[in-house]
């Protein structure tokens, strides 16, 4: 990807799933990569993105990143009537406040330095309703609104985009879906399978590179066709 070699890339939640694939892909592109996670991979920085003090301390250590992938996220599979207030707060704190904290701290540094790229990992759950995930869905929809707002406020120097993965085979997914549930989902996805984390990482690398220089405020869906159809397609 053009212009990525030598860039400093920070990935939140880089110790697992999509984040781990992103760290590997950006390292392959010749970037210096840093993982910012609750339980970071070796060499990463331990940080709860929902805690602004920890995020500010982590970026004092990092300096000015060129690219930030705002990927850390949590989910609980519960019907709306069963979501506890602790779960609700935890999902909002990581998936929404965490994305804002990291964007604000990194964005301030990028603006002072004259440029940068932020990519927020939302979900197709931001676009269509999914039972069992009321809090998660609400945070992901909010991330899209936040992305558009930051893109406007920080143009032209800092680009801010969002990606909406559909079903991706990661530890998060395997923790909540049995093999039977995964097979049933695959049967409904037009491309017939979950995405691999490295496929998401390729999209993140493209959005971060110089060939995406005219993209900001965008939401890119990678979902194997999951949200392409309505009722008539089922």
Residue 136 appears among annotated catalytic residues: yes
In the complex, residue closest to ligand NAD by CB: 17
Q: Is the CB of residue 119 less than 8 Å from the CB of residue 207? A: yes
Question: What is the C-alpha to C-alpha distance for residues 22 and 47, in angstroms, rounded to an integer?
Answer: 18
Q: Which stretch binds ligand NAD (CB under 6 A): 2-10, 17-25, 111-119, 154-162?
A: 17-25
Q: Of 2 and 39, which CB lies nearer to ligand NAD in the complex structure?
A: 39
Q: Which is nearer to ligand NAD, 99 or 209 (CB)?
A: 99
Site residues for ligand NAD, window 36-75 (CB under 6 A)?
37-39, 47-50, 71-75
Q: How far apart are CA 12 and CA 21, in angstroms?
A: 12
Query: Is 224 a binder of ligand NAD (CB under 6 A)?
Result: no
Among 104, 173, 218, 219, binds ligand NAD (CB under 6 A): 173
- Residue 172 as a binder of ligand NAD (CB under 6 A): the answer is yes
Q: CB-wise, 55 or 110, nearer to ligand NAD?
A: 55
* Position 218 contacts ligand NAD (CB under 6 A): no
Task: Work out the number of other CB atoms within 10 angstroms of the CB of residue 116.
Answer: 24
Give the CA distances from residue 213 to residues 22, 26, 65, 111, 206, in Å, rounded to whole numbers and listed in that order: 19, 17, 17, 16, 10
Q: Which of 99, 166, 98, 106 is nearest to 130 (CA)?
A: 166
The active-site residue, picked from 133, 136, 167, 177, is 136
Q: Distances in Å between the alpha carbon of 51 and those of 98, 145, 222? A: 7, 21, 30
Please give the structure tokens belonging to residue 30. Answer: 């010749």
Q: Which residues bind ligand NAD (CB under 6 A)?
A: 12-13, 15-19, 37-39, 47-50, 71-75, 94, 98, 121, 123, 165, 167-168, 170-173
Active site residues: 136
């Amino acid at each position: 990807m053009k212009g990525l070699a030598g860039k400093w890339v920070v990935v939140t939640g880089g110790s697992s799933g999509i984040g781990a694939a992103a760290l590997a892909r950006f390292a392959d592109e010749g970037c210096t990569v840093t993982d910012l996670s609750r339980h970071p991979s070796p060499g990463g920085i331990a940080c709860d993105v929902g805690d602004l003090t920890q995020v500010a301390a982590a970026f004092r250590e990092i300096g000015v990143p060129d690219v930030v992938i705002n990927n850390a996220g949590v989910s609980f599979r519960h019907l709306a009537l069963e979501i506890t207030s602790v779960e609700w707060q935890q999902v909002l704190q990581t998936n929404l406040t965490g994305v804002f904290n990291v964007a604000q701290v990194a964005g301030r540094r990028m603006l002072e330095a004259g440029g940068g790229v932020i990519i927020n990992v939302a979900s197709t759950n931001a676009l269509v309703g999914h039972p069992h995930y009321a809090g998660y869905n609400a945070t992901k929809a909010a991330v899209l609104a936040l992305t558009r707002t930051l893109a406007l406020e920080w143009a032209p120097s800092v680009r801010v985009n969002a990606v909406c993965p559909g079903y991706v085979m990661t530890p998060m997914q395997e923790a909540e879906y049995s093999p039977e549930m995964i097979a049933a989902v695959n049967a409904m996805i037009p491309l017939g399978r979950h995405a691999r984390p490295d496929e998401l990482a390729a999209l993140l690398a493209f959005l971060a590179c110089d060939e995406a220089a005219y993209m900001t405020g965008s939401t890119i869906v990678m979902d194997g066709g999951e949200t392409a159809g309505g009722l008539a397609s089922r």
